[in-house]
Structure 1
């Protein structure tokens, strides 16, 4: 897996940022991040922990991808009852922030995640958004669609018969590796299903608690919005 799913650096990081810029107008987007619930049978141990908001047992796959749909980071095994924000905070991605992020670059995620100085989410739409905020959300959605298309290629993961958690985790990660191999070999046979994490999450955006890391996210998001308004 380390040889196939890699966190690009240097010129590759800039190449990815440029590709996202062409899609949306956003500058310095490093990758898109999302969480997907992989259905499983009820585990023998702590089955209630794996019972998610969609009323089935699952584990959460947290992933980032580039503009070509290739996974650049994957993390799984968190029980389905965990919120995407909690999964992010428990991941290696969160722990190794300083090693992974270049100054000025950031990720885009949906409203299931917190607004941070390196993670930008949409404005909450309460029917009172400004023109600039609406424009921001439209451009933001164009990038989110990339990661949503990447999750998940293999419909076999919708009917997971295994009960052994170690086997489940290895199979999910193996599917992510195969996904990247298919991309590199130009295999276009996608089998997708919808995984809408945004509509059903009740998650506070930074407007409600603008402090610390979140205040940095507020400034970053407003700067991006102003840039998009100038372009349009």
Structure 2
């Protein structure tokens, strides 16, 4: 099942997803991919939100290792501190957030490793490399204009999603803004015939937990020789 977590900007999608990932981990369900929490500071300026916080940038937390890298910086701030690269993918796409190509490459390398892990699950155990002990949830936070409209950005994440459900990742959760949801669904429809849009609410949480638990029960019913040892990502 493909879950498309969607909604308007700054409604708490990533905070909701962080809590869901933590809860799944407590249940023994591996989440692999990336989370994209914002970098927030207290502010009384014109860019502050209703709670008195201003968003300066976006980090990427690589799952399951938890490695955190600076990923995006607000365009005006990147120009002011001299880190803005006019030749970058983000600049050419005229995004509000400046993303360095080096950061994109780092995250793509992570998804490339996950693709190798998923591929290993499709061959006999005696022939493959380290495996997953249980099926996991693939998390991509988020697919944006670079990926959906321009064929750039996190291309390895899109490539992994385009391979559809696998023994390693029978389910995937993708964050996408509401205005991109139709195009994201069309992009992934062939690979994921079973898909649903969810919001960051109780109903969305219940849907993901139910699917993850079903996959866990199926894995637990297999003979122990059919289960793999968790390999490093």
TM-score by length of 1: 0.30
Q: Give the alignment's TM-score, normalised by structure 2.
A: 0.30
